[in-house]
Amino acid sequence: MAEIELCGSCGVPRLISGVFKWEDSGIISISYSPGARMVFYESGNIDNIFRGVEQQIGTPIEHIVMERKRRDTRRFMERVFAEEARRLASILGGGTADKVSAVEPGRRQEVLDLGNVVNTQATTIGMVYGYGDIRFSELWDLWDNFPWRTQIIHNPYSAIFFSADMLATVEAFEHRDMRVKYEKVGGDIYLLAVHPGEHPLELKERLKRKGYEARQGDISHELCPQCGVPLGVARCRWDLEKGIIVDPITGRRMAFFDPAAMDTVFDDLEAELGESVPDAIIEAQRRYGKLSMSADNWKRSGYDFKSWAALRGLGNITRFKADEKHVTLTLENPSMHLAMVGMAQALYELAWGAESSTHEWHRTNDGDLIINVTL
């Protein structure tokens, strides 16, 4: 991992403040990609939602999720590593990386050095974003032709998302389509291997890139005077050696990732499989929320929930009303809207010690999310 510069005031890595901005609309915007957004969200929830949906609808969705995440990450990595990809193509005479073994030893070392640069930078970004303890494989010490195609990660933020991230990084570097396999090799340790291969044909015309419309809001954060990161985010603990971010108030692990990887997949699944999909997603989130949180996380205040959502980049809560039998809220500029419904349901049940509840939700013509939960 490369050396990481930290803010001298709040200690948050500069890779965060230099790229992300917390807007008054409840969105976390990205400096290099206007119109795109990120969320800062409880990462222990990611794979649980996907597994829960698979169990409830009886259909595997991992390959669909991975394909969506791969596409967005590859676009990003192609910008980050454009020069390294051009240099690799030049060394190989425009051919694929499979020609590495045929180039002269000196030029082969150039290829390995380029791969090392890409691997190191991608690993640094991932560990700062909270993706886990990412390590080089032993193939770097064995003079392998493609050591960047194999990686080990301890405690990934999501085995599915990280596999797609690694796949996309290798594709951006080698400028070709690849496939990835991951294997749990002990504890929460995974071995990932990428190899040349085509993507599933049936997904090529699906999973269109999702755009988010945004309206200005009324959110203001107390910011670090030096780097501009909200202090609500700066309070989190970055363990850069392990690639883990922890919210000290809740004790839950956090990570930065693109919400479109979830939203687009779920929209596509709903179009294909019908109305059972949203209910399955909401229920998976509700169950996880009740297992991972306590009633203390719900302070029965609309302002607290508004701040909670905005710091995570989930949108702007403009209306909130709750009593012992019912809660209703309006969320402008929502992302991960189905997860938000399930989370609202879980928190409300925890607050009042309820075993279950019912929910209703809909999107307005302006894109607002209206959530109603009743005990």
CATH of the domain at 76: 3.30.1380
Residue numbers of the domain that contains 125: 59-203
Measured distance CA(316)–CA(27) in Å, rounded: 8
Residue with tokens 């948050």: 12
Identify whether residues 199 and 298 lie together within a single domain: no
Strand, coil or helix: what is 337? helix
The answer to whether residue 116 sits within a structural domain is yes
Residue 311 sits in a domain of what CATH number?
3.30.1380.20
The answer to whether residue 197 sits within a structural domain is yes
Measured distance CA(104)–CA(165) in Å, rounded: 31
Point out which residues pair with 255 in neighbouring strands. 41
Given 203, 221, 244, the domain boundary residue is: 203
* Structural contact between residues 151 and 192, judged by C-beta atoms closer than 8 angstroms: yes
Identify whether residues 281 and 199 lie together within a single domain: no
* Count of residues in the chain: 375
Identify whether residues 157 and 280 lie together within a single domain: no
pLDDT for res 16: 97
Measured distance CA(150)–CA(243) in Å, rounded: 18
Percent over 70 (pLDDT), the chain: 90
Identify whether residues 70 and 184 lie together within a single domain: yes
Query: Is the model's pLDDT at 300 over the cut of 60?
Result: no
Average pLDDT over residues 172-185: 93
The answer to whether residue 230 sits within a structural domain is no
Measured distance CA(344)–CA(357) in Å, rounded: 11
The answer to whether residue 294 sits within a structural domain is yes
Structure-block tokens of residue 175: 């400028």
One-letter amino acid for residue 146 of the chain: F
Which is more confident, 323 or 125?
A: 125
Identify whether residues 76 and 193 lie together within a single domain: yes
Identify whether residues 199 and 84 lie together within a single domain: yes
**Number of domains the chain contains:** 2
The answer to whether residue 212 sits within a structural domain is no
Q: Which of 25, 21, 23 is nearest to 368 (CA)?
A: 25
Identify whether residues 67 and 188 lie together within a single domain: yes
Point out which residues pair with 223 in neighbouring strands. 230
The answer to whether residue 178 sits within a structural domain is yes
pLDDT for res 328: 93
* Report for 131-140, 290-299, 342-351: range of highest mean pLDDT: 131-140
Strand, coil or helix: what is 100? helix
**Helix spans in 10-158 (H):** 14-17, 46-57, 62-80, 82-91, 105-128
Average pLDDT over residues 203-214: 63
Burial of 45 (0-12, 13-18, 19+ CB in 10 A): buried
Mean pLDDT of the chain: 86
Identify whether residues 100 and 186 lie together within a single domain: yes
The answer to whether residue 338 sits within a structural domain is yes
Query: Is the model's pLDDT at 188 over the cut of 60?
Result: yes
Given 203, 226, 255, the domain boundary residue is: 203
Identify whether residues 194 and 295 lie together within a single domain: no
pLDDT for res 25: 95
Query: Is the model's pLDDT at 239 over the cut of 90?
Result: yes
**pLDDT tier, 20 (very low <50, low <70, confident <90, very high otherwise):** very high
Identify whether residues 76 and 189 lie together within a single domain: yes
**105-119, 129-143, 218-232, 315-329: least confidently modelled range:** 105-119
Identify whether residues 63 and 199 lie together within a single domain: yes
Query: Is the model's pLDDT at 154 over the cut of 70?
Result: yes
The answer to whether residue 143 sits within a structural domain is yes
**Cα Rg of the chain, angstroms:** 21
Identify whether residues 64 and 193 lie together within a single domain: yes
pLDDT for res 302: 53
Average pLDDT over residues 347-369: 90
pLDDT in tens, 70-125: 888 888 889 889 999 898 888 877 656 666 666 676 777 888 888 899 999 999 99
Q: What is the pTM of this model?
A: 0.89
Query: Is the model's pLDDT at 69 over the cut of 90?
Result: no
Structure-block tokens of residue 188: 């929460």
Burial of 179 (0-12, 13-18, 19+ CB in 10 A): middle
Given 151, 186, 203, the domain boundary residue is: 203
